[in-house]
Amino acid sequence: AQKITQTQPGMFVQEKEAVTLDCTYDTSDPSYGLFWYKQPSSGEMIFLIYQGSYDQQNATEGRYSLNFQKARKSANLVISASQLGDSAMYFCAMRESPNFGNEKLTFGTGTRLTIIP
C-alpha cells in the first residue's frame, strides 16, 4: 500500500491565486513527521515546510501553509498568492519514528505545478 498519495499529477494556476496541493498518508505510527519539498527544473530538492504529528497548530512558512487534518490523514500544502517562480514539482514526504523501523523519508509521486501569467 502507498504510504504517501498525491492524486494530482499536474495543476495549472493563474498567477496571484492561491493553490492547494493534496497529500494523504498512511501510517499506524503515532509519532511521525510530514514534509513538503519543491523541485525546480534544475533538480535540487528544496525543503518548504514541516508538520509533526503532535503539533497542535498547522505549520506556516511565509506563503506556505500546511492544512493538517490528522483524522483524515491529510497534509495539504497551500501556497498563497502564487508567483511564476512557484512553477515546479512538489513532493509530499513522511518520516515515521525509529521504533517502527521506518524512519526514512518516504515520498509521494509528486504534483507538477505550473503558474500561468
Partner 1 sequence: DGGITQSPKYLFRKEGQNVTLSCEQNLNHDAMYWYRQDPGQGLRLIYYSQIVNDFQKGDIAEGYSVSREKKESFPLTVTSAQKNPTAFYLCASSIDSGVVVSDGYTFGSGTRLTVV
**Under the rule (CB under 8 A), what is the footprint of partner 1?**
4, 9, 31-33, 35, 37, 42-45, 47, 50, 52, 91, 95-98, 103-110
Please say which residue, 31 or 67, places its beta carbon nearer to partner 1: 31
The amino acid present at 11, given as its one-letter code, is: M
Minimum distance, C-beta of residue 37 to partner 1, in the bound complex (Å): 8
What DSSP character marks residue 86?
Answer: G
The C-alpha atoms of residue 13 and residue 19 are separated, in whole angstroms, by 7
Q: How many residues does the chain have?
A: 117
74 versus 102: smaller Cβ distance to partner 1: 102
**What minimum distance in Å lies between the beta carbon of 100 and partner 1?**
10
CB of 93 to partner 1, least distance (A): 8
Residue carrying the nine cell digits 498518508 = 25
CB atoms within 10 A of CB 103: 13
Choice between 104 and 117, CB closer to partner 1: 104
Kindly state the smallest distance separating residue 71's Cβ from partner 1, in Å: 20
How far is residue 54's CA from residue 68's CA, in Å, rounded to a whole number? 11
- Check if the beta carbon of residue 78 is closer than 8 Å to that of residue 65: yes
Q: Which is nearer to partner 1, 42 or 56 (CB)?
A: 42
